[in-house]
Amino acid sequence: MSEPEKAGEQLSVAVHEQVAYVRLNDRGSFKISKPLKQFGVSAIDHGVNKIVVDMEQCVGMDSTFMGVLAGLAFRLKKQNEGHIYMVNLTSRTRGLLATLGLDQLVKTFMQGATPTEFAGMLQNDGRQMDVLKHESGSRRETAEMMLEAHENLVEVSNENLPRFRDVLTFLREDIANANDAEAEPPAV
């Protein structure tokens, strides 16, 4: 059975023309990073060249969530020569991005400064957006996603390596242990 989620922690998404929209409610955490990644990869594979993340209702982000954003930004730029736009940032959420160097990778806009080309879709109060379902994966799948996210952060800035060295080591060990456990024959 999956762990209960906080009622407010969710992602609403839509694709309009070549732009994917993501509205983040409450927190951007590892719990909603998997559906964000799946949506983003699918949108990019279908030709989206801009992903707009509306942060108006966001109170914070963890490193896994920011690492998934970094991975999507790398993929979007390489595959479709596109960018991620993070709009309606507060000084707190903008500061979190800057701490890990993501402000150099994504285009950031403070509250009230949303580019007009995105404003119409974002002002519709989510009527055209779908809420993404949270599905918790196995422990190994979660650890693999978290490892990739933190490796993305190190790719963003070498200054992130000392911050996440222990996390990277722990996640690699956790994945290896999960692989060993899966390789063992079932107990009879």
Q: What angle do CA 65, 77, 134 make, to 5 degrees?
A: 30
Task: Look at residue 121 in the predicted model and tell me its pLDDT.
Answer: 83
Task: Name the residue type at position 1.
Answer: M
Percentage of the chain modeled with pLDDT above 90 = 73
Task: Look at residue 183 in the predicted model and tell me its pLDDT.
Answer: 54
pTM over 0.95: no
Overall average pLDDT of the 77-93 stretch = 96
Which has the minimum average pLDDT: 4-13, 60-69, 88-97?
A: 4-13
Which has the minimum average pLDDT: 85-99, 116-130, 138-152, 172-186?
A: 172-186
Which has the minimum average pLDDT: 38-47, 57-66, 131-140, 174-183?
A: 174-183
Q: Is 66 helix (H, G, I), strand (E, B) or coil?
A: helix
Alpha helix segments (H runs only) across the chain = 30-45, 63-80, 91-99, 116-122, 139-156, 160-183
Task: Look at residue 188 in the predicted model and tell me its pLDDT.
Answer: 47
Distance in angstroms (rounded) separating the CA atoms of residues 37 and 1: 22
Task: Look at residue 17 in the predicted model and tell me its pLDDT.
Answer: 87
Task: Look at residue 3 in the predicted model and tell me its pLDDT.
Answer: 43
User: pLDDT higher for 5 or 173?
Assistant: 173
Q: Give 14-33 as a DSSP string.
A: EEETTEEEEEEEEEE-HHHH
Cα→Cα distances 109→3, 69, 77, 147, Å = 34, 16, 19, 28
Question: Any idea where the domains of the chain sit in the sequence?
Answer: 10-134
What are 83's strand-pairing partners? 50
Distance in angstroms (rounded) separating the CA atoms of residues 126 and 128: 5
Q: What angle do CA 76, 176, 180 make, to 5 degrees?
A: 130
Name the CATH topology of 10-134: Transcription Regulator spoIIAA (3.30.750)
Question: Tens digit of pLDDT for each residue in 116-139?
Answer: 999 888 876 556 889 988 777 788
